[in-house]
Amino acid sequence: MKRILITGGAGFIGSAVVRQYIAETNVTVINVDKLSYCANLDSLGDALHHPRHRLERVDITDRRALERVFRVHRPQAVMHLAAESHVDRSIHGPEAFIHTNVTGTLTLLEVARAYWNELEGEDKTAFRFHHVSTDEVYGDLGPEEPPFTETTPYAPSSPYSASKAASDHLVRAWARTYGLPVVITNCSNNYGPCQFPEKLIPLMILNALDGKPLPLYGRGDNIRDWLYVEDHAHALRLVLSRGRAGETYNIGGRAERRNIDVVHAICDHLDHLQPRPDGQSHRTAIRFVDDRPGHDRRYAIDCSKIERELGWRPQESLDSGLEKTIRWYLDNPQWVERVRSGAYRQWLDLNYAERLAP
């Protein structure tokens, strides 16, 4: 494939995918992103001004704008990452999640379908619509239950995961009803460089560096399965090029941890890399705060299908990936300053002021 349209390519995972395509292949990337609060063009690094990178500042709910993008750039595949992506924000304001994740995916599917219908021969059979989704659509796992497989029934808990589940259903329906050649991936929690600091790992790193409290919801014993973002980006490229049309692939890091253990690991790395001025461990800043409503206890992914069929394996362990991530935040204060806009400060007030009140 020579021309791939990527939605959400200025976000955390999308920018990692774009950087890899530009650095490691000859693919031209058409990056469709509305540049919302969490997008950051700095995350694209050298890819931003590369001649094979075309940025289109477009909202995926804008059908006419999308039609123009497809007409002008003639993509051979779509990788769809654009989304509202943060559970806590979805609890404070669900509408934006339905708008982008459901209506936006519907709009993109319809424009892609009309475009694909006009293709012929090899262009038509080789075309792919790759929908990037999350393990959160499968809902809440008990401590002893086996990890999610591709056939685990959907049971989303939050407005975010419900909107992603709805978008997955639309994509499957477009494959079944209209024959659109789709692939779907459902991945576990990502972490790594360039993640907006409203998610657990970057929030904890930056709060610790600022000497602020480290707010753990509930008892800190909820479990997530963590994957380094570059490993996810490799998996996505592999699925797009070699995944079978109509199939779903789960992607995960085989790295289940309790939140408290993740935060302890961050504190321990920082105690070496950036000790607190008062000589105490960063662990002393941990605070247990009011839980998230509807908080899923555990996610775990069985990724044996992508391992078996496509030979994918993650390269980073959680420990090596965490250290790389922490070093990246320490080495990139200008990236951090850019995202600490007024909008970010408002978010900290909205989500944490009451939780952390004395």
Minimum distance, C-beta of residue 256 to ligand TYD, in the bound complex (Å)? 12
Q: How far is the CB of 215 from ligand TYD (least distance, A)?
A: 5
Residue 274-303 contact track with ligand TYD, rule CB under 6 A, x = bound: ------------------x-----------
How far apart CA 40 and CA 205 sit, in angstroms, is 19
Per the structure block, which two tokens stand in for 320? 């090596």
| Residue 19 binds ligand NAD (CB under 6 A) | no
Residue 354 annotated as catalytic:
no
Q: Is 253 in the site for ligand NAD (CB under 6 A)?
A: no
* C-alpha torsion sign, points 50, 54, 57, 61: negative
Kindly state the smallest distance separating residue 191's Cβ from ligand NAD, in Å.
7
Phi, psi of 23 (to 5 degrees): -80, -35
- 77-80 and 53-56 strand pairing: unpaired
Q: Is 160 a catalytic residue?
A: yes
Give kind and range of the element (H or E) at residue 330. Answer: helix 318-331
Residue 35 touches which member of ligand TYD, ligand NAD, none, C-beta under 5-8 Å by kind: ligand NAD
Is 152 a binding residue for ligand TYD by CB under 6 A? The answer is: no
Chain position carrying tokens 């694209």 = 44
C-alpha 286/C-alpha 292 separation (Å) is 17
At residue 158, what is the residue type?
S
192: left (phi over 0), alpha (psi -120 to 50) or beta: left
CA–CA separation, 244 and 185 (whole Å): 12
What's phi and psi for 47, nearest 5 deg?
-65, -30
By beta-carbon proximity to ligand NAD, the closer residue of 134 and 351 is 134
Give 25-50 as a DSSP string. S--EEEEE----TT--GGGGGGGTT-
Select the binding partner of residue 216 from ligand TYD, ligand NAD, none (C-beta < 5 to 8 A, by kind).
ligand TYD
Instruction: Print the binding letters for residues 202-221 with ligand TYD: x by CB under 6 A, - otherwise.
Output: -x-----------xxx----
CA–CA distance, 72 with 144 (Å, rounded to integer)? 51
Residue 189 CB, nearest approach to ligand NAD (Å): 5
- Residue 222 as a binder of ligand TYD (CB under 6 A): the answer is yes
* 328 contributes a contact to ligand TYD by CB under 6 A: no
Please check whether residue 308 is in contact with residue 302, taking contact to mean a CB–CB distance below 8 angstroms.
no
Residue choice 5, 10, 17, 162 for contact with ligand NAD (CB under 6 A): 10
Region near ligand TYD per CB under 6 A, out of 115-123, 196-204, 227-235, 329-337 = 196-204
* Closest CB 349 distance from ligand TYD, rounded Å: 14
- Residue 132 as a binder of ligand NAD (CB under 6 A): the answer is yes
| Residues binding ligand NAD (CB under 6 A) | 7-8, 10-14, 33-36, 38-39, 59-61, 81-85, 100, 104, 132, 134, 164, 187, 189-190, 196
